[in-house]
Amino acid sequence: MRAQPDGYTLFLGHTALGTNPALIRNLPFDTRRDLAPISLLITGPNIVVVGAGHTLRSMADVIKEARARPGKLNYSSSGVATSTHVSGELFKAMAKVDMQHVAYKGAPASMVAVSTGESDLSFAGMAGALPLIRGGKLRALAVTGEKRWPSLPDLPTVSESGVPGYVAVAWYALFAPAKLPANLVHQVHQEVAAISRSQDMRTRMLAEGLEPLGSTPRELDEFLAREITKWTNLAKTGALVAN
């Protein structure tokens, strides 16, 4: 943010830019004021998984069990304030259920906990979960995105599974210092958007559970505004605790 706005210093931001205003009371910057949006590069849903032998077989089962035994089901995440954490808290708030969050030190530990039955479920990152699903260690229940994932067309979204309007995605985007001249914003955007939209990038990213976008600066700014509003509103309900 303090760098010379000459186009040579850029920032690869991610999901935390949307959640931090909700989670950090005295954030020392204003995300939208102090950063110039360039392009929303990629987004990706999380995937709700349980161990292969777990009795839960659908999101309807999760909701039914969580309401029958409040606070007894637990879901693992790769850490506090990660996408895998806040996705679960959003689900709890929108489905009106009570589950316990258990934060692990990274995605691998979280996946081991689910596959062994130490944890009931997880709103896991696609890249880490897909190999375990294909290997028969995990069972997928739903994806957290707005639409079904192309390689898993029979897997419903959470929104289709009893929580209408639920959407939670992980994302990466490119930013610059706020005063970068418009012509340089345009130039950098054109370059990175072309890469994001290339067939090679699409193939690589889709295999990792991510969708390349290469959005315009305005689209990124609008997306970021929606993300900040979503997580700030969730924090106001007490579901997310600010530090």
Give 197's pLDDT tier (boundaries 50, 70, 90).
confident
- This prediction has a pTM of 0.91
What are 141's two structure tokens?
Answer: 């229940």
Looking at the predicted structure, is the pLDDT value of residue 196 above 60? yes
Instruction: Flag the least confident range among 35-39, 48-52, 59-63, 196-200.
Output: 196-200
Structure confidence at residue 243 (pLDDT): 47
- The pLDDT tens digits for 55-80 are 999 999 999 999 999 999 999 999 99
Structure confidence at residue 40 (pLDDT): 96
Q: What is the C-alpha separation between 99 and 215, in angstroms, rounded?
A: 36
Structure confidence at residue 26 (pLDDT): 87
- 101 in helix, strand or coil? strand
CB neighbours of residue 133 within 10 Å? 18
Structure confidence at residue 241 (pLDDT): 64
- The pLDDT tens digits for 6-29 are 999 999 999 999 999 998 888 899
**What residue ranges in 52-194 does DSSP mark as E strands?**
74-77, 100-103, 121-125, 138-143, 169-177
* Cα-to-chain-centroid distance, residue 231: 12
CATH class of the domain comprising 11-43+168-236: alpha beta
- The pLDDT tens digits for 87-139 are 999 999 999 999 999 999 999 999 999 999 999 999 999 989 999 999 999 99
Q: What is the C-alpha separation between 31 and 17, in angstroms, rounded?
A: 7
Q: How far is CA 41 from CA 6, 119, 189, 196, in A?
A: 21, 32, 10, 6
Contacts (Cβ under 8 Å, ≥6 apart) of 193: 39, 214, 215, 216
What are 126's two structure tokens?
Answer: 């696609």
Structure confidence at residue 239 (pLDDT): 72
Looking at the predicted structure, is the pLDDT value of residue 240 above 80? no
Q: What is the C-alpha separation between 74 and 61, in angstroms, rounded?
A: 14
Domain boundaries, the chain: 11-43+168-236, 46-161
Assigned CATH for 46-161: 3.40.190.10
SS (H, E, C) 136-169: CCEEEEEECCCCCCCCCCCCCECHHHCCCCCCCE
Structure confidence at residue 8 (pLDDT): 94
- The pLDDT tens digits for 130-189 are 999 999 999 999 999 999 998 899 999 999 999 999 999 999 999 999 999 999 999 999
Quick check: do 11-43+168-236 and 46-161 share a fold? yes
Looking at the predicted structure, is the pLDDT value of residue 233 above 50? yes
